[in-house]
Amino acid sequence: GAVVSQHPSWVICKSGTSVKIECRSLDFQATTMFWYRQFPKQSLMLMATSNEGSKATYEQGVEKDKFLINHASLTLSTLTVTSAHPEDSSFYICTPADSFRNTEAFFGQGTRLTVV
């Protein structure tokens, strides 16, 4: 199956700092990456869709200036949480659209962000 590597797996940061999360597709080219967010005891909600070489599209209610997405290559997409606040504490997880092969869809390992 497709291999997706996401780092870091967990991070604790101080309020007001920025955190970068990386998502790499290791064995195929990912022209599109989906970023999901999962608050405690809730489901996964799509935050944004990044496309290689172009601007990301954000779901309603997601601040594009706070959650910066860069998809500069076919194997790497990054999500930067800028000026993080405690309410940004969540589980962030990525999945390349190209991993949506006929019968499977693979995710990164996820990043648990805690802002203190």
Partner 1 sequence: AQKITQTQPGMFVQEKEAVTLDCTYDTSDQSYGLFWYKQPSSGEMIFLIYQGSYDEQNATEGRYSLNFQKARKSANLVISASQLGDSAMYFCAMRERQTGANNLFFGTGTRLTVIP
Residue 12 as a binder of partner 1 (CB under 8 A): the answer is: no
- Residue 47 beta carbon to partner 1: minimum distance, rounded to whole angstroms: 10
Interface residues for partner 1 in 63-82 (CB under 8 A)?
A: none
* Rounded distance between C-alpha atoms, residue 68 and residue 16, angstroms: 15
Name the nearest CA neighbour of 78 among 104, 101, 108: 108
Tokens of 89: 């504490």
Least distance from C-beta 64 to partner 1, angstroms? 17
Q: Which one-letter amino acid corresponds to residue 35? A: W
Check residue 106 for interaction with partner 1 (CB under 8 A): yes
Residue 48, exposed/middle/buried by CB under 10 A (0-12, 13-18, 19+)?
Answer: buried
Eight-state DSSP code of residue 1: -
Nearer of residues 49 and 75 to partner 1, judged by Cβ: 49
Interacting residues with partner 1 (CB under 8 A): 1, 32, 34, 38, 42-46, 49, 91, 93, 95, 97, 100, 102-107, 109-110, 112
